[in-house]
Amino acid sequence: AGNGLALSSRNAYLTEPEVTGILVGYPIIPGTPDSMFVANNKIGGFFCQPDSTNYQETRLRGIYVPYQTAGHVTIEKNFIGSHTVPRSMYSEIYIGSYGTKAIEVENFTSSTRNYISENVIENIHGPANAIDISHGLSFIYMNRISHLTGGGSTGIRLSFCDRTTVVSRNTISNFIS
């Protein structure tokens, strides 16, 4: 019960355009560390608001794995959002903004393998993508996604993934636009 990292901040109003709860790797220099395990974390309570004069995209992520080039990342049994607080993770946006992503993995080779399972994602506001995966081979199963609000929200988004990617036994419900 004591495992993981709990990140929460009631009424945290952030003016930087990019906020991430757990960053695995480094987004500027390609090469996420080979084979990582991210499990049993609680992430929520973020409000990301751009400065009213810069109109830059806001990017709010619960767990972010950028530029993965080798190995595998396992993301399991994390809780992102809140059971009871609406808009527990909320990114205020302008036209063209990125919005909110609970889990995002960017792969840059087809040899990467990722396991995203048994995560609970609730009450995030967007446009929101609960799980967003690009490239590589992923196994996405037994995640529970509910109460995503804001137009353009997506439960699981895959782009340019390996044709043998598996998406199975996920529960996706209660979206409100």
The radius of gyration of the chain's CA atoms, rounded to the nearest angstrom, is 15
The two three-digit tokens of residue 125, written as one number: 């506001």
Question: For residue 47, is pLDDT > 80?
Answer: no
Mean pLDDT of the 28-35 span: 63
Question: For residue 14, is pLDDT > 60?
Answer: no
Average pLDDT of the chain, as a whole number: 80
Give the pLDDT score at 7.
43
* Greatest C-alpha distance within the chain: 45
Taking a C-beta distance cutoff of 8 angstroms, is the pair 36, 63 a contact? no
pLDDT: which is higher, 85 or 93 = 85
Give the pLDDT score at 17.
65
pTM for the model: 0.84
Question: For residue 105, is pLDDT > 70?
Answer: yes
Give the pLDDT score at 144.
98
For 147, what's the count of Cα atoms within 13 Å in the CB-facing half-sphere? 16
Q: Which of 34-38, 81-85, 101-105 has the lowest mean pLDDT?
A: 34-38
Give the pLDDT score at 69.
76
**Residues in Cβ contact with 52 at an 8 Å cutoff, skipping those fewer than 6 apart:** none
How far is Cα 65 from Cα 10, in angstroms, rounded to an integer?
Answer: 25
Strand 18-23 relative to strand 59-68, pairing: parallel
Percent of the chain with pLDDT over 90: 32
